Chains A and B, each alone.
Chain A
Amino acid sequence: KNEVEQSPQNLTAQEGEFITINCSYSVGISALHWLQQHPGGGIVSLFMLSSGKKKHGRLIATINIQEKHSSLHITASHPRDSAVYICAVATGANSKLTFGKGITLSVRP
């Protein structure tokens, strides 16, 4: 069993829809990252959180430490949100990350 699980592998939505992407993990963590990877491969860090909730523009990330679960919400989705969304957890004192496989999101106009 992977330490970081994301599902489903692929997600399709219509422009304007509210989208939720989930991540579950099985190890103790010091922080959880949500990353966005576009088709060219480059990675953008969206959020880093260790508790509670963070919001940036149309994106909201939440984490429940007791349940070992995090969600990434996208409000008023847009085709430019189409990308792979990766959940990664930081374990240990040296910031090493363990990654989920990512969810491929396609937002149709």
Chain B
Amino acid sequence: GAVVSQHPSRVICKSGTSVKIECRSLDFQATTMFWYRQFPKQSLMLMATSNEGSKATYEQGVEKDKFLINHASLTLSTLTVTSAHPEDSSFYICSAPPGAGHKNIQYFGAGTRLSVL
């Protein structure tokens, strides 16, 4: 079946550094990918919708200059947490619908646990 690969699975970094998280669709083309964030004991919250070849759409309250999204190809979207701070420590996960004809289906990455010291 379709697989979404997310890398890295875990990252620990110092405050002020930038962290890049990759989300790849392995056997389908994803014109859209979604990025979510989950704080401990909270539900997943949509951060932004990544659109291939155009700007990402950010949810209210998510800083686009803080969370840079690039979707340069049909199989890869990246989320860069710039100048990370301890409050950015969270679980980040991506998902992708496999496209036309598969409306509402979503495949999820395994997630990235970010810890900012």
Contact = CB atoms under 8 A, between A and B. Distances in A.
Contact of B43 (A40, A43, A48, A102): A102
Given A41-B113, A101-B42, A94 B105 contact: no
A31 interface: yes
Contacts of B111: 40-43
A94 B108 contact: no
Given A42-B110, A95-B97, A100 B43 contact: yes
Given A86-B43, A86-B44, A41 B110 contact: yes
Interface in B70-92: 91
| Interface residues of chain A: helix, strand, loop or mixed (majority) | strand
Interface in A31-47: 31, 33, 35, 40-45
A102 B95 CA distance: 18
Given A94-B32, A97-B34, A31 B93 contact: no
A50 interface: yes
Contact of A43 (B45, B46, B108): B108
B108 A95 contact: no
Contact of B104 (A4, A48, A98): A48
A43 B49 contact: no
Contacts of A102: 43
Contact of B108 (A2, A44, A101): A44
B108 A50 contact: no
Contact of A96 (B34, B43, B105): B34
A99 B110 contact: no
A30 interface: yes
Contacts of B104: 30-31, 48, 50, 90, 95
A44 B103 CA distance: 18
Contacts of A44: 108
A55 to B, nearest CB: 18
Interface of B: 32, 34, 36, 38, 41-46, 49, 91, 93, 95, 97, 103-111, 113
